[in-house]
Amino acid sequence: SDSVVSAVARALEHADSVRRLEVRANADTPQDAARARRFGAQGIGLCRTEHMFLGERRPLVERMILARTDADRAHALDALLAPQRDDFTAVLEAMDGLPVTIRLLDPPLHEFLPDRTHEVNPMLGLRGVRLGLVVPGLVAMQVRAVAEAVVARTRAGGDPRAEIMVPLVSTVEELRLTREEVERVLAEVTEETGVDIHCPVGTMIELPRAALTAARIATEAEFFSFGTNDLTQTTWGFSRDDVEAEFFSAYLDKGVLAASPFETLDREGVGRLVRIAVDEGRAARPGLRTGVCGEHGGDPESIRFFHAAGLDYVSCSPYRVPVARLEAGRAAL
Ligand code: PEP
Ligand code: MG
């Protein structure tokens, strides 16, 4: 009824006036971005790029990864550039004036090349930053697509605020090398177009080693975003794809686990890694921005923890944005 709707609107307004946590959304299509905006998202905290490479672009991805010659790979990357630029242009338009954190490709290979990968543990394999470092031209293609989208939106009179995020980092060296490539391409496109492209570069923190070496990693990162899905998986050694496993439900039945750590943040273990990374990252780099973009970003109990740990933002599914706003407000009170 109208009175319920206006009561909710008042509660949200009140929550927004007191909360300290910013609330962003995870979105990778213009439709989701627009929906998130209607729900009050203050930007996109995670724009995954994996789905953009499925469907009709999938054969090109296979060619890019498995190419026998540099020329063959370059051809596949060339064909991917324009559609990727259009993807980003559309998302930046839907989020005009608000930050959009674009994550470099992080495809577990069993999802992309089910018949071609020889990895026994693809979730611990050639993913994320590792793929970017071994497939020549992949990072450059994606960064060029981001940069050209920023140029297109700027020329159209928009206010594009793209950020680039590197997934699955475990050592500062991975980030340093990737970042050099990112800066090189941004400078190249700036030079070609005359449009000054400013794109903060940050990293996901989703492996225990990254959290434990946060002070070093912060020297190369303008922001940290906790990928608590992978961080939970790798801290516990539980497969995030096998939560139906027999032992998992038995653990819940027997009370070994009070709740699934994939749903409610495990404060003692994963939460401790988050605190270490926030505190040590900020000590090494004052003003370092920190957020969370795993599923926990939309879970009320976890949001209270992130507030207490001093994070700057949570990012969650568009439909959870209103709940996250309310919960962030309650946490602040
Ligand atoms: C995460 O690991 O928490 C995350 C947000 O990345 P993805 O779920 O895409 O692995
Ligand atoms: Mg992840």
Q: What is the Å distance from ligand 2's center to 52 Cα?
A: 16
Pocket test for ligand 1, best of 229, 240, 266, 316 (most atoms within 8 A of CB): 229
DSSP annotation string for 182-201: HHHHHHHHHHHH-------E
Pocket of ligand 1 (CB under 6 A): 46, 48, 106, 206, 227-230, 293-294
Q: What is the Å distance from ligand 2's center to 128 Cα?
A: 8
Q: Which of 208, 209, 251, 104 is nearest to 165 (CA)?
A: 104
Q: What is the Å distance from ligand 1's center to 325 Cα?
A: 21
Measured CA to CA, the distance from residue 318 to residue 32 in angstroms comes to 7
Measured CA to CA, the distance from residue 119 to residue 53 in angstroms comes to 20
Token reading at 233:
């998986």
Q: What is the Å distance from ligand 1's center to 56 Cα?
A: 24
Locate the ligand 1 atom nearest the alpha carbon of residue 206 and give its number.
2
* Per-residue pLDDT tens over the stretch 19-33: 999 999 999 999 999
What's 137's DSSP letter?
T
* Per-residue pLDDT tens over the stretch 86-127: 999 999 999 999 999 999 999 888 888 888 788 889 899 999
- State the DSSP H helix or E strand holding residue 309, giving kind and residue range, or none if neither: none
Q: What is the Å distance from ligand 2's center to 195 Cα?
A: 32
Lowest-confidence segment of 87-101, 177-191, 239-253 by average pLDDT: 239-253
0.80 surpassed by pTM: yes
Measured CA to CA, the distance from residue 167 to residue 127 in angstroms comes to 8
Written as one letter, the residue type at 55 is G
In the prediction, which pLDDT does 110 show?
82
Contacts of 111 (CB under 8 A, 6+ apart): 50, 122
Assembly ipTM:
0.99
Q: Which ligand has an atom closest to residue 231 CA?
A: 1
Confidence band, pLDDT 50/70/90 cuts, at residue 14:
very high
Which residue's CA is the closest to the ligand 1 atom numbered 6?
227
Which residue's CA is the closest to the ligand 1 atom numbered 10?
230
Average pLDDT, rounded, for the chain: 96
